[in-house]
């Protein structure tokens, strides 16, 4: 049976920690292997991307494989072929699928009807590769992850959901500040808490950020939500991560963002470009973490 990576909880705690250490080693040693020699991985992107596409394409090549990029415009994905038929056909051509799409159920269909590994490069519900990379970025600075308080400010979206799963896996405490109507899925929070995660939810950004070692946010209107921009601007008024909010965090706290960022909206220019910002390390670490995740997927 193939191994899949649809959420962080697909890995055991031990596996996730091993992948974290492997990603750090791959970064430090600029490690490249022939793990994927002779293999072709299809990058199926129904949502556009810069970092996700380039980091995965480069990562696959660093592991000796051949990436093939597909969008809904140049395939049957956006037409009338059932996804279950696409899964069965692609399984006969390639050795793995890296998918960036809308609903998580699409990945589950690919898993159900396909016979090759599926990796979640983003859905509306989860963004596990990004958050695993963010954990690597924190680990580089504070290896004792269980001592950390991590704050999330803004939309209870796919990023928030994967941070919730990461809190259950890596043991840091997580404080989320989300306005009414934009809170994380209660079922995802309940599952993480049942696994021992320490999670708090508030509508007060200052409360969430107080004493935090890492402060995270994301755009207020993600891809596909552009028509909600004005409505979301009103809902998220007061949720911008600016200098005043960062001052409530722990001394030496770092600012994180998955990018692209809307300066002057969810984050001030001063915070984004300031000394607390570690967003470029986050972006780089996508490459190293995704290589480690691919290696885990293809290991016996």
- Is 53 marked active-site? no
At residue 228, the pLDDT reads: 80
Question: In this structure, what CATH number is given to the domain that contains residue 226?
Answer: 3.40.50.1370
- Domain residue limits at 220: 142-277
Does some domain include residue 42? Answer: yes
pLDDT > 90: what percent of the chain? 92
Does some domain include residue 135? Answer: no
Q: Which of 134, 161, 218, 232 is catalytic?
A: 218
- Is 17 marked active-site? no
At residue 76, the pLDDT reads: 67
At residue 300, the pLDDT reads: 75
Q: Which residues are annotated as a binding site?
A: 49-52, 76, 100, 127-130, 158, 218, 222-223, 258-259, 286
The answer on 269 and 174 residing in a single domain is yes
- Report the chain's mean pLDDT, rounded to a whole number: 96
pLDDT bracket for residue 61 (50, 70, 90): very high
Does some domain include residue 93? Answer: yes
The answer on 211 and 271 residing in a single domain is yes
- Is 144 marked active-site? no
The answer on 65 and 8 residing in a single domain is yes
Residue 224 pLDDT > 70 = no
The answer on 271 and 179 residing in a single domain is yes
Residue 220 burial by Cβ neighbours in a 10 Å radius (0-12, 13-18, 19+): buried
Does some domain include residue 48? Answer: yes
Q: Tell me which of 144-153, 187-196, 228-237 is least confident.
A: 228-237
Q: Which of 178, 232, 258, 290 is catalytic?
A: 258
Does some domain include residue 49? Answer: yes
Residue 227 pLDDT > 80 = no
Residue 73 pLDDT > 90 = no
**pTM listed for this prediction:** 0.96
Structure tokens that stand for 28 in this block: 């430090």
For residues 28-46, give the mean pLDDT. 97
Q: Which of 254, 286, 288, 290 is catalytic?
A: 286
Residue 226 pLDDT > 90 = no
The answer on 289 and 256 residing in a single domain is no
The answer on 177 and 83 residing in a single domain is no
Does some domain include residue 267? Answer: yes
The answer on 147 and 262 residing in a single domain is yes
d(CA 203, CA 157): 15
pLDDT bracket for residue 67 (50, 70, 90): very high
d(CA 96, CA 107): 12
The answer on 106 and 226 residing in a single domain is no
Residue 79 pLDDT > 90 = no
Does some domain include residue 72? Answer: yes
């Amino acid at each position: 049976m193939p191994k899949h990576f649809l959420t962080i909880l697909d890995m055991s705690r031990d596996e996730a920690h091993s992948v974290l250490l492997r990603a750090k080693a791959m970064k430090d040693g600029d490690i490249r292997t022939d793990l994927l020699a002779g293999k072709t991985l299809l990058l199926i992107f129904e949502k556009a991307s810069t970092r996700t596409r380039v980091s995965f394409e480069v990562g696959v090549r660093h592991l000796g494989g051949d990436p093939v990029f597909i969008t809904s415009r140049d395939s049957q994905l956006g037409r009338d072929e059932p996804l279950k038929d696409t899964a069965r056909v692609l399984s006969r051509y390639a050795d793995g699928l890296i998918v960036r799409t809308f609903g998580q159920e699409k990945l589950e269909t690919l898993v159900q009807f396909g016979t090759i590994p599926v990796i979640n490069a983003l859905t509306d519900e989860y963004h596990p590769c990004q958050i695993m990379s963010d954990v690597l970025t924190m680990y580089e600075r504070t290896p004792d992850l269980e001592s950390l308080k991590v704050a999330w400010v803004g939309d209870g979206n796919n990023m928030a959901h994967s941070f919730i799963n990461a809190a259950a896996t890596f043991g840091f405490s997580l404080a989320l500040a989300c306005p009414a109507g934009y809170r994380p899925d209660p079922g995802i929070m309940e599952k993480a808490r049942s696994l021992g995660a320490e999670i708090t939810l508030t509508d007060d950004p200052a409360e969430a950020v107080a004493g935090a070692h890492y402060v995270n946010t994301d755009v207020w209107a993600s891809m596909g939500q552009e028509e909600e921009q004005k409505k979301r601007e009103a809902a998220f008024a007061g949720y911008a991560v600016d200098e005043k909010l960062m001052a409530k965090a722990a001394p030496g706290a770092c600012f994180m963002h998955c990018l692209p960022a809307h300066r002057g909206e969810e984050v001030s220019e001063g915070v984004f470009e300031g000394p607390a910002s570690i967003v470029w390390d986050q972006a780089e670490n996508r490459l190293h973490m995704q290589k480690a995740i691919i290696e885990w997927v293809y290991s016996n």
